[in-house]
Structures are given as structure tokens and as C-alpha cells.
Amino acid sequence: MRKRWLLLLTGTLALVGSLIVGPAATAKSEAPAAGTVIIGHDQEPTTLNFYISEGNLYATSLAMSPVLVGGMIYNDKAKLIPVLFDGEPKILKAEPLTVTFRYKANAKWSDGRQITGNDFLATYRTIMNPNWDITSREGWEDIASVKVKGKTVTVTWKKGKAYAAWDALVATSPMPAHKVAGQNFNDLWRDSIDIASGPFKFLSRQKGTQLVLARNDAYTAGPKAKLDRIVFRYIPSTPSIFQALQSGEIQVTEPQPQLQIVDIRKNPRFKVQSGPGYFWEHMDIQFGPKGHPALKQKYIRQALIQGINRAQVREALYVRPGLVGSVKELPVLQSHIFKPFEQYYQPNWGIWKFSQRNVIATLKKGGCTGGPDVPTANNDKIWTCPGVGKLSFRFTTTSGNQLRALTFEIAQKQLRSVGIELVPRFGPAGTVFGQVLPSGDWDIFMFTWVGGPTSSATSFGLYGCGGDQNYMNYCNKKASDLLKKAQFTPDPNERAKLLNQAEKIMAQDVMSIPMYVRPGFLINATSVKGPILNPTQQGSTWNAETWTVSA
């Protein structure tokens, strides 16, 4: 009896074992398929059509930018370089702004048809068609005319509406006119795409698992890709991405900042690149009626920014854990409009240094009472200021983000030691961004703006009076006028001058607190040669045609 049970148990275990271990017996060390690079990403595109709102994800751009390339693309220095264009576009007239560009003689679609000005015209018409869920029509809606002659295109904007980021606009990936004609654009290229203008073309897709691109042998506008295939594998859990990387299931990834990166840096099998990108973390301050009345007082806002040691926050989050090599790689952000690596960056917010004694002195000068006389780590006295009450502010940000939680803890402790209280109001991203932020019912809101090289030109929307995304309800007429003027100034030097002038005013107002530019990371196995980190939304596949892989 006993023997039978033992035998049954053993048999069961053996059955289970054979099902599990069996494959291992025949498994052998894997050699990646020749010429295939596997990229791991934590988000899958829902559609392959990156022109529409559903496709407005970095994941879509990452997968599709080698397939549908632009007239120009952003390189790793965030500079536009011609790809389908035979040179940089030229300004024919400043007012009304008129520019011209030409597609290369050998630029053609994967089906053999030439890429011509008609494709750009089709792109313009499709974008302007109100029936399609196009993500952004900014710049396009102010175009007065598009004239086409073969491969040459001339675009004229309306008088007084010169679009500042015109070069990025005309560089947009052209749509194939012969493919989009008569189609429901919202449904086009949802799961597959049968046309390409870049060094790769779509091969196959297994939804929920992977997307495969193959070399486009018909590509002649530039060097042909060296790889046979690029495979995107979708793994939503970041720890799992690192495990897949270690086990060789993926070879390239762009992870969010994670402590595992520190270990990967020490591993000779991998190369880790890091650098600032166009994501900047900041704390907005609410000026509207639903915000704390104290925040409408300039001296209190000035006290707030001086009470947070932004350098220390940056160091605690990224430098000390070893995520970035040194503080030089991640300077404290002293501008909302330009990034430290940009040519026109000026440290306008550098006038506010961390000084706890200054905070106390400023608040006392303003007539506030009840707070500490000197900064102390265990302080529990909170200031009360005339006409505005206790300096206790709701601090809103997304939940489930370790780095944000740590930032809050550091800022809370620093401010508490000088008598200012921060009360956490964390919530899921969908809720805080969808409901709380637009409602204005918050005091301090910390989040990341995701922008690009052209973001500075459209700062009016964020900081101008009545701007679409000015959720702070901040309004300084002088600054707003400068921002609006900059939006329609095509000359980059003139535009930068206006923007920096506006920001000097904004810095005095302390309408927001810039924290740091979030670093981007690119990790690749050393068997893969060629990937270079790109700080823009172009993505790490911007130079995929130069990549090679060894067994």
C-alpha cells in the first residue's frame, strides 16, 4: 500500500519532471539568428500609425522610425540631419515664412514608386483632415499653401504665423500618397504596414509578444541596413527586462532609471550609455482659486524654492546609487525652456540657491509667525502667514514611482526643517493627470514634461496666459507676450533671446521649480555594435541601419 503511494507520487513527479526537464535535455546554447538584434521594451504600440493619437507613444516611434523615415531626423546631438532630403531646407522668404526642400532623386518607397512632393502634400491634407484623430496639427494649421513640383516642395505659412519649428515640421515622415488615398486613416496600419521609406520594413507581428522588421532591400536613399532583422519583444515588467537581458533573450533595451543599471554597468558583457533627454522633472505651483492662497504670495514661493536642495535630490536619486557617473552628467536644471545640453540654455533659475536661513528670514520679513528660528531636523513648528494661513501644502504626484516618492520624502524633510509642510496626495497616473491636474485643485504638482527639440518654441502653451496646458493658471502679461512672440519667430537666435527674456521674468515669479532633466539609458550587449543613445523621441533605432551583431 505504502509502496503504491510512493510509486504514484514518484511517477507523478517524474511525469512533471519530464515535461519540464525534457526540453532542457535537447536544449543547447543558443546562437542568435545571424543578423538579428532583439530589442526589449516595456510598452507595446497599439497601432503602427504614429500620426494618430492612438500611436502617440514612444514605443510606436521606436518601432516605426526605421520604417517610415523623415526628410530629416534628429541625431544623437539633437540636430536635424537630412535623410530623404537632398540637403537642408531653405528659407526663401521670412514674412510670410516660405521654405523649400527637395527629396533625394533616389528616395523611393519599398514598392518601387518614387517619393515625391505629392507625398508631402498628401501628408499635409491627411493631417488637416478633421475626420482623422491626428495627434497634433500645430504648425500645419497655419500653412497657407503647399506647392509641389516633382520632388521639390515649397511651403508658405500665413502672414504673422511663421511657425518656429518649421524645420522639424517639413522633416515629418511623408505618407505614401498612393496608399493613404481613400483610406480610413484612423484604421490604417493598425496591425501591419505594407510600405516603407526607410532602411527596414515591417515583416510580422505577434500581438502581445513581438514585432519584427526586416531589411528593406529597396531602400536607396541611404546606406542599406547591415542587419537582416530587428525584433521588438514586449516585456512590461522592468525587473524582467533585466533578467531577459542577462539571459540573452534580448540584446538592447532602454530602461527607466533602475538600480539594476548599476550592476549592469559593471558587467563586461554589456555597454551602458546614459545622458540627459527631453524629459524634465519639475514642481508646478497652483495660482488658481483652488490652490492654497499662500502660493499667490511671491515671497512664499521664493521661500519654497530656496528650501529645497535640488542638487541633493539629484544626487540622492541618480548619482549616489551609481545610475549616472557623476554630477556633471546630471546638472541641476535651471531652466524650464531649454535643457543644459542645448545651445541656448541659460541658468535663469540659478538665482535661487538652497538656503534654509534665507527661507526663515524671508518668511519672518513677510510677517509670518509660529515657525522655527533656525532650521532643525526635528522641527514641528509650521509657519502661519498673514492673510493666507498655515504653510501646509498638498503635494500631488503619481503613485508607484520610487524616484518620485524619494524626491517627495527629501523635499518634505528639507521644508519641514524650516517650517513648511508638504502633505502627500499621490494617485494613479490616469487619475492625477486626467482629473486632478486639469481641475486646478492642487497646490504643488510634481511631474515630468516630455518634450523634444522643438518644445522650447511652444512654451506659450505651458506658461502663457490662457495657454492650453497652463494648468498652473499662471499669468504674467509681460512674460506671456514674449512667449507668444517667440512662437512665431522662425530665427532660432532671436527666438532664444525672447524665450530667455521671458524666463528671467518667470524665474523671479517662481511659478514653478525645475528639478532635473531625467537621464535616458541605453543598454546593449557587446555583441551588438552601433546603438547610440538619442535624447529625442527619434529613439535608439535612429541609426539602426549601421548596427551589426556578432554571434
Partner 1 sequence: MLTYVIRRLLYSIVVLVAASFIIFTFVSVSADPLSFLKMQPTASEITIQNITKRKHLDEPIPVRYLYWVKDALTNKFGTTTIGDRPILPDLTRVMGHTLQLVVAAELLAVIIAVAIGVFSALRQYSAFDYAATTFSFVGLATPVFWLGLMLQVLFVNIYLWFDVRIFYTANLSGVDPGTGLHFLLDRIQHLALPIMTLMVASIASYSRYMRSSMLEVINSDYVRTARAKGLPERRVTMRHAFRNALIPLVTIVALNFGSLLGGAVVTETVFALDGMGLYFVNQLNAGDPYPVMAWLMVTATMVIVFNLIADIAYGYLDPRVRYD
Query: Which 231-290 positions form the footprint of partner 1 (CB under 8 A)?
Result: 231, 233-237, 239-241, 243-244, 246-249
Task: State the nearest-atom distance from the C-beta of 126 to partner 1, in Å.
Answer: 13
Answer yes or no: are the C-beta atoms of 472 and 282 closer than 8 Å: no
Task: State the nearest-atom distance from the C-beta of 119 to partner 1, in Å.
Answer: 21
- Using the rule CB under 8 A, is 56 a contact of partner 1? yes
Q: Going by DSSP bridges, is the β-strand pair 444-450/392-398 parallel, antiparallel, or unpaired? A: parallel
Task: State the nearest-atom distance from the C-beta of 127 to partner 1, in Å.
Answer: 9
Count of residues binding partner 1 (CB under 8 A)?
A: 82
Residues in 6-25 that interact with partner 1 by CB under 8 A: 6, 8-9, 12-13, 16, 19-24
Task: State the nearest-atom distance from the C-beta of 131 to partner 1, in Å.
Answer: 8
Helix/strand/coil percent split, the chain, to 5: 35, 25, 45
DSSP string, 310-326: HHHHHIIIIITTTSSS-
How many angstroms separate the most distant Cα atoms in the chain? 98
What is d(CA 403, CA 503) in angstroms, rounded to the nearest whole number? 27
- Using the rule CB under 8 A, is 402 a contact of partner 1? no
Name which of 328, 315, 308 is nearest 414 in CA terms: 308
Contact pick of 5, 326, 328, 493 for partner 1 (by CB under 8 A): 5
- Using the rule CB under 8 A, is 428 a contact of partner 1? yes
Contact pick of 161, 300, 351, 435 for partner 1 (by CB under 8 A): 435
Nearer to partner 1, 446 or 462 (CB): 462
Interface stretch with partner 1, choices 94-102, 205-213, 363-371, 382-390 (CB under 8 A)? 205-213
- Site map (CB under 8 A) of partner 1, residues 461-480, x = contact: xx-----xx-----------
- Using the rule CB under 8 A, is 378 a contact of partner 1? no
Q: What is the DSSP letter of 130?
A: T
What is d(CA 101, CA 161) in angstroms, rounded to the nearest whole number? 20
Angle at 287 between CA 284 and CA 293, to 5 degrees: 115
Task: State the nearest-atom distance from the C-beta of 268 to partner 1, in Å.
Answer: 13
- Using the rule CB under 8 A, is 389 a contact of partner 1? no
Task: State the nearest-atom distance from the C-beta of 277 to partner 1, in Å.
Answer: 16
What is d(CA 55, CA 492) in angstroms, rounded to the nearest whole number? 30
Answer yes or no: are the C-beta atoms of 60 and 51 closer than 8 Å: no
Answer yes or no: are the C-beta atoms of 294 and 355 closer than 8 Å: no
Annotate 161-197 with three-state secondary structure: CCCCCHHHHHCCCCCCHHHHCCCCCCCCCCCCCCCCC
What is d(CA 405, CA 207) in angstroms, rounded to the nearest whole number? 33
Interface stretch with partner 1, choices 117-125, 313-321, 341-349, 429-437 (CB under 8 A)? 429-437
Residues in 291-330 that interact with partner 1 by CB under 8 A: none
Nearer to partner 1, 241 or 510 (CB): 241
Interface stretch with partner 1, choices 154-162, 215-223, 378-386, 447-455 (CB under 8 A)? 447-455
Counting beta carbons within 10 angstroms of the beta carbon of residue 290, is it exposed (0 to 12), middle (13 to 18) or buried (19 or more)? exposed
Task: State the nearest-atom distance from the C-beta of 431 to partner 1, in Å.
Answer: 5
Q: What is the DSSP letter of 48?
A: S
- Site map (CB under 8 A) of partner 1, residues 129-158, x = contact: -xxxxxxxxx--------------------
- Using the rule CB under 8 A, is 190 a contact of partner 1? yes
| Backbone Cα Rg of the chain | 27
Interface stretch with partner 1, choices 201-209, 282-290, 404-412, 492-500 (CB under 8 A)? 201-209
Task: State the nearest-atom distance from the C-beta of 518 to partner 1, in Å.
Answer: 15
What is d(CA 197, CA 189) in angstroms, rounded to the nearest whole number? 14
Contact pick of 187, 217, 263, 494 for partner 1 (by CB under 8 A): 187
Residue 419 one-letter amino acid: G
Nearer to partner 1, 144 or 429 (CB): 429
Output the CA–CA distances (angstroms, integers) from residue 45 to 137, 256, 403, in the order listed: 21, 17, 25
- Using the rule CB under 8 A, is 423 a contact of partner 1? no
Cell for 550?
Answer: 556578432
Contact pick of 75, 156, 210, 401 for partner 1 (by CB under 8 A): 210
3-state SS class at 348: helix
